[in-house]
Amino acid sequence: MNKLVIAILLIAFSKSINAQTFFNWENPAVFRINNEPAHASPVPFTDLASATTFNAGKSALYKSLNGIWRFKYLKNPLETMVDFYAPGFADDAWDNIEVPGNWQLQGKYDPPGFSNIKPPF
């Protein structure tokens, strides 16, 4: 009888260990969420003459995202502010970064982890 109780307790305990929940950014089985596969970015043109230049900047329908952007570094996604994407959101305390660019090298953020030393193991 005691062996049966111990066996049931061990099974219940092992099930509770396996039932751990992870945030998506902690789960190694999650590779990507809400993104599209790689593809060529088509640029629409209003007329044939500007389309044959193969210069996206000549299209009136093209908007470059290069420039200065507002940036707020957060330790994890749970710190995300409510409605940070709303047009009237106060982001005056946020930093400015240059896009395209590496945000890790443009401020006091998480530094990139590069090393030229091989680990000893």
The CA distances from residue 14 to 2, 6, 19, 30, in Å, are 18, 12, 9, 23
Q: How many CB atoms lie within 10 A of CB 97?
A: 19
Q: So what's the pLDDT on residue 26?
A: 82
| Distance spanning both ends of the chain, measured CA to CA | 49
Q: So what's the pLDDT on residue 14?
A: 64
pLDDT tens column, 93-108: 999 999 999 888 898 8
Distance CA 67, CA 79 (A): 26
Residue in the block written with tokens 């193969």 = 54
pLDDT tens column, 16-46: 555 567 788 888 888 888 888 888 888 899 9
